[in-house]
Amino acid sequence: MRSKGTVASMTTAVILLLAVLAGCATELSGPQKAELKWYRNNGLAVQEKDPATAAWLGILPGGGSFYTRNYGIGIVNLLCWPISVAWDPVSGYNGAETLNYMSTVSVVEKKRNKEITTLDSKLAAGTISKDEYLKLKNECEKRYSPEI
């Protein structure tokens, strides 16, 4: 039979292991960071969550994770507070950047598709020539496609 101290130590070790494994939101990959930077430089980025706010909220129990809608990670960070202060600000920042990236990609794709649908309609109606259509479609693709 194990002592209460051993069980408590093992429980703490399991909680800490879960916190380390689940405590941080995945950081954007290098190409995703470059793509988001391109969108920002071209005025196309969507900022759904502020990364600085997410990082500051990470000081509170699970705050950064809850702010970025990572509720499961937020609960783990809440249970591991104050130790989670070591990783939750980073987790919150990464979570905000990930949300912003995903929102931006979705919005840009919708804008691109809407413009191409409009061009398709104009081509079908005969209001623009095939050459004009191809030129405008190429410009549209260039406007919404990151150069990374």
Is residue 52 pLDDT above 90, yes or no? yes
**pLDDT computed for residue 2 by the predictor:** 60
Instruction: Show the tokens assigned to 80.
Output: 């591991």
Residue 99 pLDDT exceeds 80:
yes
Contact 31, 148 (CB under 8 A): yes
Q: Is the pLDDT of residue 11 over 90?
A: no
What percentage of residues in the chain have a pLDDT greater than 90? 60
Surface-to-core class of residue 75, CB atoms within 10 Å of its CB (0-12 exposed, 13-18 middle, 19+ buried)? middle
Looking at the predicted structure, is the pLDDT value of residue 17 above 70?
no
Burial of 29 (0-12, 13-18, 19+ CB in 10 A): exposed
Residue 61 has pLDDT above 50, yes or no: yes
What is the per-residue DSSP string for 103-145?
HHHHHHHHHHHHHHHHHHHHHHHTSS-HHHHHHHHHHHHHHHS
Choose among 69, 78, 99: nearest CA to 23.
78
* Cα–Cα nearest to 98, from 31, 49, 43, 41: 49
The answer on pLDDT for 23 being more than 50 is no
pTM of the full structure:
0.77
**In this predicted structure, what is the pLDDT of residue 68?**
92
Q: How confident is the model at residue 85 (pLDDT cuts 50, 70, 90)?
A: confident
Mean pLDDT of the chain: 86
pLDDT (0 to 100) of residue 133: 95
